[in-house]
Amino acid sequence: MLVREDGAVVDSDVYRARVLNRAKLEEGVVQVLRTVRHQHGALSLETIEPRAVFDGDMLADLRFEGKNRAKELIEDLMIAANGVTARFLEARGLPSLRRVLRSPERWERIVQLAADLNEMLPAAPDAAALDAFLSKRRRADSDTFLDLSLAVVKLMGRGEYEVELPGGTSPGHFGLAVHDYTHSTAPNRRFPDLVTQRLLKAALAGHPAPYGRDDLEELARHCTEQEDNANKVERQVRKSAAALLLESRIGERFESMVTGASEKGTWVRIFRPPVEGRVVDGFEGLDVGEKVTVELVATNVERGFIDFARRPRGDAFESSVRRT
């Protein structure tokens, strides 16, 4: 990739090679790439999941692991490389398996969250405006930004895989503010990337695509479904760990934020420890992003169930600190 000083990728190519590191990459290249993405509306979100902390063989806590410069550097280069890959396949007349995130499903609720913080967002989905709002909130109140970020992520909906034929018009990725985006950089651990690598090798050899349109459509559906299944397993493991951590704290009250509200149920995340559970009593009228006091009423480690009941807001924070 040839990156201009203003962050624009003005030239790129894809070829087979063996890696030989001769020098450390200057972070300035990554910085300008990131700057350009955020100018186009890439969202400043924090979506860190809590990790289990053990004392010997005993689960002691759940804590967030923050980002660092190395992870951000890799992330920005991967995003740039995935864009180059998508455009390369398009230029060679081959289809691609795009990673897409459509405009937020519940934009009106995101607008309301901003209004509750005395900020205004446009009525129609606008990535640049949303990122400006998020960046401002991060600077104004970094302690609660993770909770706001989580609410926005929940309201945006999920990403999915979609087939892009040459000359097509992919919806792009709203969260990353990129139009041409595929998954290609991790073929050792993610099947869509392996599919993309096979398409790249066919393009480099001048061969037709190794998959027909129907095959790619089926793969796109399958990969989206399997990703959802994998996420469910990860959530189940985290829920069981959280239930184990909290099973001795039945009856304790916590401050929390609503992370999900639908016909299937209402969920909240308490702040300390960062654990999510279902509201089984008093959930009527709650919506994503609202702050609410809850009482822990039941846990089931095997099934990963954590049940809360809504309580009047009051001394929950002090109670939690005292018991902790």
Q: What are the boundaries of each domain within the chain? A: 2-101+158-238, 247-323
What is the pLDDT, as a whole number, of residue 314?
63
User: Residues near 64 by Cβ (< 8 Å), separated by ≥ 6?
Assistant: 48, 49, 50, 51, 146, 274
Q: Token pair 């081959």 is at which residue?
A: 94
Q: Is the model's pLDDT at 319 over the cut of 50? A: no
**C-beta separation of 200 from 212 below 8 A:** no
Q: What is the tens place of the pLDDT at every residue in 60-89? A: 888 777 677 778 888 888 999 999 999 999
Give the pLDDT confidence of 238-257 residue by residue, as tens digits: 889 999 999 999 999 999 99
pLDDT grade, residue 26 (50/70/90)? Answer: low
Six-digit token string for 130: 């949303």
Asked if residues 267 and 278 have their Cβ atoms less than 8 Å apart, the reply is: yes
Please say whether the beta carbons of 175 and 101 come within 8 A. Answer: yes
pLDDT band at 48 (very low <50, low <70, confident <90, very high): low
What is the Cα–Cα distance from 184 to 197, expressed in whole angstroms?
6
Under the banding of pLDDT at 50, 70 and 90, the label for residue 322 is: very low
Query: Of the candidates 302, 305, 296, 300, which has an alpha carbon nearest to the alpha carbon of residue 272?
Result: 296
247-323, CATH topology level:
OB fold (Dihydrolipoamide Acetyltransferase, E2P) (2.40.50)
**Lowest-pLDDT range of 42-56, 182-196, 198-212:** 42-56
Position with higher pLDDT, 320 vs 114: 114
Q: What local confidence, expressed as pLDDT, does residue 159 receive?
A: 93
Model confidence at 38, pLDDT cuts 50, 70, 90, reads confident
Q: Which residues contact 274 (CB under 8 A, 6 or more apart)?
A: 50, 62, 63, 64
pLDDT tens-digit readout, 253-299: 999 999 889 888 999 999 888 889 999 999 999 999 899 999 999 99
